[in-house]
A = this chain, B = another copy of it.
């Protein structure tokens, strides 16, 4: 691996022949890293590279890097370079453009490539069709090993070509798969249909990408063929695409739980960050006002026993913490497909039991704390019972809020936290201050 600083020096000071010969030893990701630190006009370097390598750079670049790279070239050259990209990356790139810019690029590609790309653009980008690539190799069942090898030579497979050879019948219907290693070690006259693995697992073209990721996770696939409703093979999804999806979905869940927009970048702009965070803080402000309004109902009681104000944050805060625990477990369970129709009752029962036990433990502890701090058994009883009740509420809302949001089609990660803390704040204050109001004569 060449040191990043050496990469551009090598390109700038070598002949086209030397570059062509040695460029395969430079990983595109390393090249992009070197290029991002280059202080002169990148076109000096780019114009010395073979088209195929620029295609690889475009494949590996992040979306905004792709645009930046392309911007150095004329419209005609853009079309040529883009034809070197793998189809799934190209579709991602074009999908981010408006129709006019899309067409400007498509017009400069050859008609066959352009039509293929247009077909791919028609799929929902968050389904198997939207993420699949069309660089797969399919052969007929009747081929021999020798014919297969000849066919592979004629295709001149690039580094993007996967390691499975799919087997189809005369109507392009997927019939099986042959791992490349079988091609290598089998006798030249062996028939493909005798060594292929039948009953291959495939995914329908309209399957949601989260489901696709769950299947990869379950079966540890490297690549999976995508088929239409007649079983005709349309493309493949590879594990590197799925890793991206998994990473994005993780970040999305985690960010949404914390009230961040999933597109916010750690090194993004201040303006973007404010737009991501302030609306969420305002939503939370409304729920905080609801909690405050609950407290205000009991101002008379607080005026008589000011210690109530001291203990308020304990009841509400602990409810929020316990609710978040249940909530996080349920949201993760939904995301991983572990919460099913079969086990949901069992899990709710378990969570309630946990809420009862944790509520009992914490209730007793804060009851003792209240008793020793304030000095009356009644105060201990009030704070202990309020804590116990709020922990049960926390468990219920931690379970039901994400489950119901999921059922009505809202991402549980997006809105659950605010609902759960509103419930635990409002009811926590209500239990605590309400009980104190009822028992006011024992507290003074």
Contact = CB atoms under 8 A, between A and B. Distances in A.
A74 interface: no
Given A254-B254, A292-B310, A325 B152 contact: no
A144 interface: no
A295 interface: yes
- Chain A at the B interface: SS class: helix
B185 A159 contact: no
B184 A325 contact: no
Interface string A295-315: 110011011001111111110
B184 A317 contact: no
Among all A-B residue pairs, the 7 with the closest Cβ atoms:
A258-B328, A266-B333, A220-B240, A309-B309, A163-B163, A25-B199, A296-B310
15 contacts: A27-B219, A156-B185, A217-B243, A222-B240, A242-B243, A247-B336, A259-B325, A267-B343, A280-B321, A281-B322, A284-B317, A285-B366, A288-B313, A293-B310, A308-B309
Nearest to A297: B310
A289 interface: yes
Contacts of A180: 163, 180-181, 184
A242 B242 CA distance: 12
Given A149-B184, A296-B310, 11 more contacts: A24-B197, A60-B220, A180-B181, A243-B246, A247-B336, A260-B329, A267-B350, A281-B358, A284-B317, A285-B362, A288-B318
A1 to B, nearest CB: 5
Interface string A3-35: 000000000000000000000111101000000
A297 to B, nearest CB: 9
Interface in A125-150: 149
Interface string A202-239: 00000000000000111110100000000000000001
A177 B149 CA distance: 21
A325 B277 contact: yes
A321 B259 contact: yes
A201 B250 contact: no
A305 B47 CA distance: 73
A429 B416 CA distance: 26
Interface residues of A, number: 114
A243 B300 CA distance: 57
Given A185-B152, A295-B310, A314-B285, A358 B277 contact: yes
Contacts of A259: 321, 324-325
B25 A357 contact: no
B289 A314 contact: yes
A425 B313 contact: yes
A307 B295 CA distance: 9
A270 interface: yes
A264 interface: yes
A258 B184 contact: no
A1 B197 CA distance: 11
